[in-house]
Amino acid sequence: MLTDDQFKNYCVIKTFGLKRSDIAQYLKTGSISVDYSEECLDGTILVLNKDAEEVEFNRTLDMIKTAFADKIYADEDCSIAKKLVDSCREKGIRLIVAESITGGMICSAIVDVPGASEVLSEGLVTYTNASKVRRLHVKLSTLETYGAISKETAGEMARGLMENRDVDLGIATTGCAGPDSDEKGTPVGLAYVGISTRRGGKIYRLNLTGDRNYLRKCVANAAMFYALKSIENADKENK
């Protein structure tokens, strides 16, 4: 454990989707130390200033933040779920979630954060095709033609969430966690995240490798990260 007498100051930068190889050229030890750790695509860059001048420390931070701007979600030590809850509270955004592959992981992560009741309206685990049709109004023809694990189904799941007029942002997940493919031969690790707002929506495709629960946690983290990006992008458009 680090103590205050081991460094002058430090910064924690939280990222999503980076591999250690992506940041390898920035990792170093010395007067300024940079290290990286990652779990289920949720990454932490730790920058320690042991005895360098402040201007050099800030230059290192700026270099890293510029290089990975689109992958950074916080410059403090927090979870994606906490950042999402805090952002929604700040903007007055109400969330709704439909989970298939993640089976409640997203809602559980959000509810773990104090103040979640101010932002989370509803969470649905629409695991079967029948549930997707009944609760989210996914077309049966979409499921028959493209399958439950498809960008088309993810899009209809996300749009179906917005039929609740009391919410502002919807998150939907569908995918194949294995250990076997589904009846359409979907490869294990293929997943889709649907993000919906009153302005429209976006679908993200993920191709992952790992065991069942690792894949599910990765998709849950991805869904919350993309929801955060949707909020950030809306802010930019409004400026």
Query: What is the model's pLDDT at position 166?
Result: 95
Which tokens go with 192? 């889709």
Last residue of a domain, one of 15, 39, 74: 74
Domain identity same for 33 and 122 = no
| pLDDT over 50 (residue 1) | no
Structural domain including 127 reads 80-238
Domain identity same for 205 and 123 = yes
Query: What is the model's pLDDT at position 146?
Result: 96
What integer is the mean pLDDT of 59-71? Answer: 97
Domain identity same for 85 and 128 = yes
Query: What is the model's pLDDT at position 239?
Result: 66
Confidence of residue 221 (pLDDT cuts 50, 70, 90): very high
| pLDDT over 70 (residue 233) | yes
pLDDT in tens, 16-34: 999 999 999 999 999 999 9
The residues with which 101 forms a beta bridge, in sequence order, are none
Which CATH number do you get for residue 137? 3.90.950.20
Which tokens go with 6? 């081991």
pLDDT in tens, 200-220: 999 999 999 999 999 999 999
Block residue for tokens 């569908």: 174
Query: What is the model's pLDDT at position 4?
Result: 52
Last residue of a domain, one of 74, 104, 120: 74
Preceding peptide of 187 cis, ω within 30°: no
Domain identity same for 111 and 53 = no
Which CATH number do you get for residue 35? 3.30.70.2860
Domain identity same for 191 and 98 = yes
Counted domains in the chain? 2
| pLDDT over 70 (residue 3) | no
